[in-house]
Structure formats: C-alpha cells, structure tokens
Amino acid sequence: MTVHPAIAASQAGAAARSVLSVRRLTVNVGAREGRRSVVRDLSFDLARGETLCIAGESGSGKSMTSLAILGLLPKPAARVAAGSVRLGMQELVGLDEAAMRAIRGDRIAMIFQEPMTSLNPVLTVGRQLTEAIRAHRPVGGADAVRQAVAALDAVRIPQAASRMGQYPHELSGGQRQRVMIAMALALEPDVLIADEPTTALDVTVQAQVLGLLKDLQRDLGTAIILITHDMGVVAEMGERVVVMRGGAKVEEGTTADLFARPRTDYTKALLAAVPRIGAGPGRRATRIVSAAPVPAVEVRGLTVRYPVRGGLLGRTRALVHAVEGVSFAIAPGETLSLVGESGCGKSTTAKALAGLAPYAGTITVNGRDMAGLGRPGRKAMRRDVQMIFQDPYASLDPRMTAGALVREPLDIYAVGTKAERRERVAELFERVGLSPDGLDRYPHEFSGGQRQRLSIARALALRPKVIVADESVSALDVSVQARVLDLLAELQAEFGVAYLFISHDMAVVENISDRVAVMYLGQIVEVGTRDQIFGAPRHPYTRRLIDAVPVADPARRRPAFARMEGELPSSVRRIGDAPARRPLVDVGAGHWVAEDA
C-alpha cells in the first residue's frame, strides 16, 4: 500500500483531531472452514468538515467498510475480526445493537445507493422522517413534522409540506434520493456516509445532489465519506482519496496529488479507464455504418400513454404522456444513444421496443412489424431483441444460480448441446469479467456491479441482432465499465449488432455512440452524430446536460455545480389535453433540432 508522504507525515496529528478514526479494520465473511477477509488491515482518519472519497472496483470492500463502521454487517455471515472504529472518543467495535441504534442516524448517518430499497414503500415520506427524528430527539409530533418539513426544504424538494403525505413510489428517483439525504441530515450528524449516492441519477440531478451535499456540509460542518466508483465525482467532491482493491488500501493521497501523480499501477489503470468528454484520439473512432436495405430497428410515431385513475370507481382522470411521437431508425452495426433526465421517456421507449409496454405507432425489427406477429413470430423476435435492464437485482431470478440464469435463454431456444451450452456460459462469464467460481452462486451473493455483468452475459447469450441497453453500465466501476464497453463494441463489429443505448453518463455515451438522440418530456429535441451533439449542440437542453457532467480532473473543478432548481414539468395531462409536438428541423448533415430551440 502506498501513502503519499504528506499524508504519512500528518497521520498522527490527524488521528488526534479526527471525528472518525479507523485503525487496522479487518472484516471476515463465511464459516470457519471457508472464511475470507473482504476488508484487510484498513486505516484512515476523517476530519470534521472534510470529504474523504473511498474509490475502487466493485467488490473492493468499499461498502463492507461502511457497513462495518455503522455496525450493519449481515451477521453471522460477516463480522469485524480485528481493528478499531472510533467516533470521536467512543469505540464503536463491540457495541451492542441498542447502543449502536442510538448512534446511527444521530451522530453518524448513511445514504444508501438505492433509495427505493431503503425507504419503506408502505409508509409515507413524512411518517418515515418523523419516526427518524423522534427516535433520537424528545420532541412531540407537531415539532417532528416541522423539523421534517424543514429538512425537505433544506434539500430543495418543491412543495415540501405536500410531499409529506406521499409514498416513495410517487416521487422521482432524484426526489427519493433527496428524501434520503434529508433523513440522514435532519439530526445534523457528525459523519455522513454516502454509498454511491448518485449512481442511478442522471447528470443534472447528480449535479444537484452533489451541490446540495456541499452546501449542507458547509452549513452543518458534517464530515462526509463518499463511496463511489465515479472518478469524476471524486475529482469534483473529494479532498482526500483512499483507493481500495481486494479489501485492502493500495493508495491514499490528496485528490489533486492522486490524479496528477498516481503511485500504484492499479490507480493509474483506474484513472486511465475513466471515460472523458472530448478525450480526443482516445475516443472510439467515428465509424461509417454501411447503409442496409432494411434497418435493424425502425420506430415511427411511437406514443405511450398511461392512465391515471382515481375516484370511487377508479375512472381514468388523466394520462401520463410518457412518449409522444418518437421516430428513429438504427442500422445493423450502429449504436444510437438516448439521453435525457429521469422521466423523459427513455426507458419507456426501450420497453416498447422490447415488447414490454403497450404503444401506438409502428415498430419494425429487421423489416417485421411487431404489431402483426403471431406467437411464433413474437418468440423469434424476442431472440433477436434482448434487453439489459437498469436494475439487475430486480431482473434476475433470486432462486436460480448465476450459471443457470445465463444458460436459460440457450435452454429455451435449444441452442447447441448441453456441453456446448455450458462452454458458452463459461465463455460469457469470462468476457464480462466474472470468475467461473461464481457459476454456482446466487444473485444475492454478488455485488451490484457483478450482478449487472451477469445481466449483460445473459443478454448476450443468444447473440441477438438488437440489444436494448437501459443504463447497462451505470452500476459498474470504471475499469469493468471500460471492459464491458469494449466487449459490446467487439460483438457489434463481429455480429453487426444494433444497440439502443440508454445512459445518463454523457462521457460513456460519447465513447460508444454513432448517433445520439436527446429526449425531453417524451419527445426527441435533438438528434445527430456523436460529434455534432457533443461538439456543436444546438438545443439549450442538450447544452445543459453536457454542462452538468462532472469533470474527472481536480484542476478543472468547477467553482459551483451546474444546478437546476425544481423538477421537470409534469407529463401528466387531462384527457384530451395533448402536448404540442415539436417538429425537428434539419440544420445540416443529418443534425436535427426541435423548432423551439
């Protein structure tokens, strides 16, 4: 493990003034005969008001470290085998659950990666906030409500008082994450641990959340441990960085020094894998996609609307205009990326293309109209069109082993012999960066990034003609992300696969795309080649998306985040009150922009 000399020289003093001190922490998992260390001999200090980033690949021990600090390790499967965790003058290792419960949320709080699985779906936002406040403060119900509303106001949730009566599923992803931040900071803890708090957020909401954390840290003096695989976020937020690999710390330094002068080969490789907007010769070269007589995918006038029911009889009172008149075509071997904020209609478009959502309009795959296919035709079409979902945990059967999950499509379509299927599964595991040792493990035994790799391997099993990738690399660390993007490019070159690639990571989009379509409120407002969109964006919304991307260079850290107050306008409209469709105008060389630009 390499420690920058300036860090090593000040460690003794840092420990004395730190709000949190971790010393030689070791976490073991498994039974006695199969026990292994997932965190080994880890030490670091966190000063008051400081932001320390813990970075590393999926499975490096980042999240297990945070769970050990909070006393949330899944027992008896995991336990702290050695070491010390001190919050101020209080030792946390060895405290009983009642003592830890008094500390969690009060003196040390956590924002988890996925708010929808952290918030109770059957309790209102207000109920969950007030329960957290009253668990640690001797206040009455009315005072708890006032504090909860103030916490929602602090995280800039519009109409905070009315949100108290809503349930988590009624909020957008960005709003749910802000509720988690409000809950974590309502009691002004000394330490906030944020575990991948922006992984699932689009770039504009990410900018809002990161800016919000900075503002609240400035106002409250809270020390932050930010766990992330996004080196752009590290460059924007961190004062110091701890790099982990295989459960151990391999390097520690100031953010500026670590990015400018990484000392280990692993850190150098980690930084080299970071996709950057405008990276020049290192970007994927623009390819000429040969014109085919039949597009792999052609969409014309795609419209998806969902009813909003209410009243005693459950009548339709309004419609959600999720997608409005979207048209595009993708040639064999071409990648079209869809970008836009959460709720703009990207995922709904993907689901319609995969046959998972009702729609109006026309979708043809290899010249076949999906609407006119019978049962055999739909089965053949599903072989040609595969989808990689955003949430791997929700899309993988928890009762099946990883090997069986990847092999299942081959079994359904009776591809090859049993021996050939096993060989194909092992090959897919290797190509997406999974160890063959994981063939007999279940989804819950993998990390979030590993589960996403498993989903990608399953989608690739049948070698489809079209892959719909909905945030397919959002949960992956940069090095694995780079390998998966290379794999997708290799398969495209070898088999002529067409990709509809949906992502909120604009640097990844620039890296992989041939063309880019920008969606806003269910409509495409700009579409063009990768270089047109990133080099000369014409629509103000496109420019706003690009400006919100964090830059993976501390020397170019922005003095303030590009924040946009409030939320997107609602896509819910009364029946008969359809939105005005904005026609696209050709501004040259196949670059189309909505008329309102």
Does the pTM of the predicted model rise above 0.85? no
Q: What percent of the chain has pLDDT over 90?
A: 45
pLDDT bracket for residue 285 (50, 70, 90): very low
Determine the pLDDT at residue 156.
Answer: 74
Q: What is the pLDDT of residues 201-211, one digit of tens each?
A: 777 777 877 88
Helix ranges (DSSP H) in 18-71: 62-70
Determine the pLDDT at residue 304.
Answer: 93
With contact defined as beta carbons under 8 Å apart, do 439 and 403 qualify?
Answer: yes
Q: What is the pLDDT of residues 575-595, one digit of tens each?
A: 777 777 888 999 999 999 998
Determine the pLDDT at residue 263.
Answer: 94
With contact defined as beta carbons under 8 Å apart, do 506 and 339 qualify?
Answer: yes
Q: What is the pLDDT of residues 215-251, one digit of tens each?
A: 878 888 899 999 988 888 899 899 999 999 999 999 9
Determine the pLDDT at residue 211.
Answer: 83
Helices 478-495 and 265-272 pack at an angle, to 10 degrees, of 50
The mean pLDDT of 30-53, rounded to a whole number, is 89
Determine the pLDDT at residue 188.
Answer: 85
Determine the pLDDT at residue 232.
Answer: 84
Determine the pLDDT at residue 586.
Answer: 93
| Nearest CA-CA partner of 230 in 265, 278, 269, 196 | 196
309 vs 286: which has the higher pLDDT: 309
Side chain identity at residue 444, one-letter code = H
Q: What is the pLDDT of residues 101-128, one digit of tens each?
A: 999 988 999 988 777 778 899 999 999 9
Enumerate residues 6+ apart whose C-beta is below 8 A from 69.
20, 22, 85, 92, 108, 193, 225
Determine the pLDDT at residue 11.
Answer: 47
pLDDT bracket for residue 420 (50, 70, 90): very high
280 burial type by CB count under 10 A (0-12 exposed, 13-18 middle, 19+ buried): exposed
Q: What is the pLDDT of residues 551-573, one digit of tens each?
A: 888 887 766 554 445 455 667 77
Q: Name the phi and psi angles at 541, rounded to 5.
A: -70, -40
Walk me through the domains of the chain, giving residue ranges and CATH numbers. Answer: 295-538 (3.40.50.300)
Mean pLDDT of the chain: 85
Q: What is the DSSP string of 128-190?
A: HHHHHHHTTS---HHHHHHHHHHHHHHTT-SSHHHHTT--GGGS-HHHHHHHHHHHHHTT--S
pLDDT bracket for residue 475 (50, 70, 90): low
With contact defined as beta carbons under 8 Å apart, do 68 and 77 qualify?
Answer: no
State the CB neighbour count (10 A cutoff) for residue 272: 12
Q: Is the pLDDT of residue 281 over 50?
A: no
Q: What is the pLDDT of residues 310-346, one digit of tens each?
A: 776 778 878 888 899 999 999 999 999 999 887 788 9
The mean pLDDT of 128-138, rounded to a whole number, is 90
Q: Which runs of E-coded beta strand occur in 385-489?
A: 385-388, 466-470
The mean pLDDT of 518-534, rounded to a whole number, is 94
Determine the pLDDT at residue 423.
Answer: 94
| Nearest CA-CA partner of 450 in 492, 501, 489, 405 | 405
Q: What is the pLDDT of residues 162-178, one digit of tens each?
A: 889 989 888 876 678 88
Side chain identity at residue 460, one-letter code = L
With contact defined as beta carbons under 8 Å apart, do 572 and 320 qualify?
Answer: yes
The mean pLDDT of 353-366, rounded to a whole number, is 90
